Amino acid sequence: MSQVVLVTGCRSGFGLLSAVELARRGHVVYAGLRDPGCAEELAAAGRGLPIHPLALDVNQASQRDAAIGRILDEQGRIDALVNNAGVALGGFLEQVEEDEFRQVLETNVLGPWALTKAVLPAMRQRRSGKVIMVGSMSGRIGLPGVGVYAASKWALEGMSESWRHELALFGIELTLVEPAQFKTDIFTRNRRIARNAQDPDSPWAPYVRSLDKSVRAMVERSAGDPVEVAHLVTRLVEAKKSAFRHPVGPNAWMRAMLGRYVPFGLTQRFIARWLVPDPA
């Protein structure tokens, strides 16, 4: 049965691919774009599929309300919300400024909270609906150099767990997708680092160089194909009932088990060996 689905963050990566895959499967897809000027890229990726672009910055209440209002006016319902929009930020925590931290939290935590809240009245009225949160394995294990991103994804995990219990009371199912490393624009065009992260005089400079080298090597060696996440999102939209957490991607289940069963001291020693300072 065709579903009416709103997907956020559709300029590239998981959002764009999920919108295309859902439309290919016959669903009515509304694709949120922070920059409406990117609609042509979305149309090109969709190759004629009926994907409806929306101006939607998840941090803007007026745009959230307008997007939900338009979908309800045109379709009469919203069957599924995919909260995919998010930002990353590289940099050791001491290097990050407060405004940078706040922006990540607003986009990765408050944005999904507000948009979920906005779709609930329509879903609750029909006593059905799905909310899919796109989190990260960084919401399970906090690694050095991405502490702000990890903080936002840990917060999303906790909020999603509470939402799961609360929304079930009204017949609404919330699921959490936890991607590992994938070859998306988060490592290229959308790569964001803290303003102070490139300071050559910082005591963190050798660790920044070491981490950057390690991450680049990891992406080239083992990052997965992001279409895998799009397929998972589509299965969750179409499923009658789903489990709560869904790790996905290279070593995702291993990392999930690592965080749950391996003593933290052992993990810390392993990461310390991995983060050997890189000479200038």
- Catalogue the active-site residues: 149
Cβ of 254: how many Cβ atoms within 10 Å?
A: 12
Helix (H) or strand (E) holding 129, with range, is: strand 129-134
How long a stretch of residues is the chain?
280
Closest-CA residue to 149 (of 277, 116, 157): 157
Please give the Cα distance from 96 to 89 (Å, whole number): 9
The answer to whether the Cα torsion of 115, 121, 124, 129 is positive or negative is negative
The answer to whether the Cα torsion of 124, 129, 134, 136 is positive or negative is positive
For residue 31, CA distances in Å to 12, 46, 100 come to 11, 11, 26
**How far is C-alpha 227 from the geometric centre of its chain's CA atoms?**
14
Cβ of 190: how many Cβ atoms within 10 Å?
A: 15
Question: Which amino acid is it at 131?
Answer: V
For residue 183, CA distances in Å to 18, 121, 179, 213, 222 come to 15, 36, 11, 16, 9
